[in-house]
Chains A and B, each alone.
Chain A
Amino acid sequence: MSASRTRKVLWSFTALGGAGVAASYFVAGAPRFWANWTVWFLYLFTLALGALFLVALEHLVSARWSVPLRRIPERVASLLLPLVAVGIVALGALPVLYPGAKPEAASDPVLAGKAFWLGVPFFSVRVLFCLALGLLPLWILIRGSLRQDRDRDPRFTIRARRFAPLCMAIFALLVTVAAFDWIGGLDPGWYSDVIGVYLFAGAFLAGLAATTLAVLSLKGQGRLQGIRFDHLYNLGGFLFGFTVFWAYIAFAQYMLMWYANLPEEVVWYQAHLGGLWLGVALLLALLHFFVPFFALVPRDAKGDMKRLRWVALVVLAAHWLDLYWLIFPALGQRPLFSWPELAFALFFVGGALLWLRGAMETGEDMPVGDPFLEEGLEFRL
């Protein structure tokens, strides 16, 4: 398919999705509309942050093997720019889905003490602050990387390494606040301190999977010639390892709450594992852990392009399912999946792909100004 035809197809999907999104507000009801919007906002936000984490991690540990690949997650992370708008719209979900943001919270015995934290004003300030703060690493790391293409100045690499720890701190703050606010806030009486780490695991996996898919897609177009089995193997290895990490965190949280059986904690799991939601949870375990794990266990599979492509797709789908499972039970109904969800998928996937297609044309495909590009290209396992 030619580039312009693809663009036309994407635009039409996005427009169709957009119409469905608008219609669903009136037909399917506000709560469902906002649940979908929140899921997709968080999905793309965590995906972009995951890609940003990958870039910052490379600078932090001075990795060489990933230098040829680095431009891809940099471009994926640029999604944080349009996400500012999506996030501002998402604030509309607060009075609808978030009990802590409703006026009744001030008189609820459990919520009264933290009503100022959960209330719309401070919540919104936090969201806006996080959206803005996410742009800082974008400015320093990614803009600097693009500039290095032109001026070949190695001092950017030094600056990036110095900034990487701060970028990590920013990332930790953003992911933790997002988890506590958007996910924990749906049931403000419930609390779990590991949800920040849980969302981080999902975010990093989503960022990795998106990066992998983008790399494979560009290679299919004949670009990124220098990327070999050795580089893909490392990407696959990360996917494998962090699949295990996600499963570990998810199981640890579940098992601890199951074991202690405290009413204020178990109620969350009762909502998320009751009735048909149990099926969704099992599907999530299958797609997010068992399938990618066993698919990537063989050594060759970790670097195999075909295998990586569909595993990355499964991981991306699983991350959406994860957020769906985390957020939709707040609607108090059985799992809903029909045209509103599909419309949202079309709209946001189409929109993200459109943005990313544009992003894939920014700068060179590899950070040509990076002093370690050659060494990265020569990397052997």
Chain B
Amino acid sequence: MSETFAVLGLFDSADALMEAIPKVRAKALGRVEAYTPYPVHGLDEALGLRRSPLGGMVLVMGVLGVLTALLFQWWMSAVDYPLVTGGKDPSSWQAFVPIMFEIMVLFATFTAGLGMLLLLNRLPHWGHPVLQSQAIRGITRDRFALAVEADGAFDPASARSALADAGALEIEVLPVPAAGPMFTASFIQRSLAGIAAACVVSGSLLYWAIKLMPVLPPMVHMENQPKLDPQESSTFFKDGHGMQLPVAGTVARGFLPFAMTTPEQSAGLVNPLPRTPAVLARGRAQYQVHCAVCHGVLGDGVPTLTAAYGAKPANLHTPAIRAYSDGTLYGTIVLGKNAMPSYAADMAVDDRWAVVHYVRALQRALNAKDEDVR
């Protein structure tokens, strides 16, 4: 004969139940529990239940939620990778408040819900004897049950008579279920296998979602873009080339068209740059890069090129060239002369004028008068 878990008495109204409770509790036969289809007012006090600690738990977790949200947001926004967005300071608390409130509610909610279920009520629990009883059909419908649960030395017969005296309509004796201990080896095995399976499945899903799916067509990270890359062909242009020369008359930035056609025509241009050491240094640098290869470091037509080049670069110290105006020198740089190509594309406007200054300095240096030395 199996042990008795509890003796259940059924009543058909909340009033009847409430009247029965003090009578049964007075007999002190065991732990008294009630089962009702809905919450009945005053039942807690009648059964002597302690206040639920859930309110305090939720308050603590709510405050924790606020602080957690504040800490996380502040760390992410102001410490780990501070970015100024919208002109606001990275640690501006005002922007953190909405999420702090939401996380507070989230923490509090899960504490209330899961704390109530898992911690306080110890649900889910499908093995309780009442669930296997006849009475449960009535309990979740419209019957009220009072149970005297075995607590140490327990006499089912006196519990039966106590419930009958209190006015129970039906009485049922619940045996302790025959099931063995919960944590059997097979149960643990199955649980672990289930957990492992869940981990594998969710891990795979995550991996697929984050790593694989974004690179499958049509989600190809904009790999195939309908824009023109260098060296690509194109059906848009008649010759099938993607790369085309600029349209005739295109002017590059900083390279304004030069109105003159011969250097002599540009004789009237005036050097806009002042003759300062900085400008001269710039001119020297540009000269040494662009001009010295042919005209020589001293401007005397002794090139650093080998003679195999063929052409004879001009000596910049001849009286003819010394008589050139600044504008003519400038025009020579821009238009080229004889074998000298145009250097307009290689030198910016200011650089050209700086070189003109430098050439003038060179000319003066190689034709110095006594006064210059004194």
Contacts and interface: CB of A to CB of B under 8 A. Distances in A.
A251 B93 CA distance: 12
A299 interface: yes
Contacts of A297: 59
A77 B76 CA distance: 51
A298 interface: yes
B55 A299 contact: yes
A261 interface: yes
Interface residues of B, number: 9
Contacts of B88: 259
A184 B351 CA distance: 63
Nearest to A258: B94
B59 A259 contact: no
Interface string B42-81: 0000000000000100010000000000000000000000
Question: Secondary structure at chain B's binding surface: helix, strand, loop or mixed?
Answer: helix
A261 B87 contact: yes
Contact of A298 (B41, B55, B87): B55
Contacts of A261: 86-87
A259 B55 contact: no
Contacts of B59: 297
Interface in B89-135: 94-95, 97
Contacts of B87: 261
A122 interface: no
A215 B203 CA distance: 62
A380 B41 CA distance: 10
A259 B95 CA distance: 8
Contact of B94 (A254, A298, A299, A380): A254
By CB atoms of chain A within 10 A, which of B41, B59, B87, B94 has the most?
B94
B41 to A, nearest CB: 8
B97 A259 contact: no
Nearest to A256: B94
Contacts, number: 16
B192 to A, nearest CB: 42
A251 B97 CA distance: 9
A298 B95 CA distance: 29
A255 interface: yes
A259 B88 CA distance: 8
Contacts of B97: 251, 255
Interface in B308-336: none
Interface string A249-274: 00100110011010000000000000
A280 B95 CA distance: 22
A244 B282 CA distance: 70
Contacts of A251: 97
A299 B59 CA distance: 12
B330 to A, nearest CB: 52
B286 to A, nearest CB: 49
A251 B41 CA distance: 39
Contacts of B95: 255, 259
A380 B97 CA distance: 37
A251 B95 CA distance: 11
Contacts of A254: 94
Contacts of B55: 298-299
A380 B42 CA distance: 11
B108 to A, nearest CB: 12
A299 B97 CA distance: 26
A228 B88 CA distance: 51
B153 to A, nearest CB: 38
Which of A254, A259, A299, A380 gathers most chain B CB within 10 Å? A259
B95 to A, nearest CB: 7
A261 B94 CA distance: 13
B68 to A, nearest CB: 19
Contacts of A259: 86, 88, 94-95
A41 to B, nearest CB: 32
A251 B96 CA distance: 12
Interface in B164-217: none
A265 to B, nearest CB: 14
Interface string A159-193: 00000000000000000000000000000000000
A254 B94 CA distance: 9
9 contacts: A251-B97, A254-B94, A255-B95, A259-B86, A259-B88, A259-B94, A297-B59, A298-B55, A380-B41
Q: Return the 8 tightest CB-CB contacts between A and B, nearest first.
A: A255-B94, A258-B94, A297-B59, A299-B55, A251-B97, A261-B87, A255-B97, A298-B55
Given A255-B95, A258-B94, 7 more contacts: A251-B97, A259-B86, A259-B88, A259-B95, A261-B86, A298-B55, A380-B41
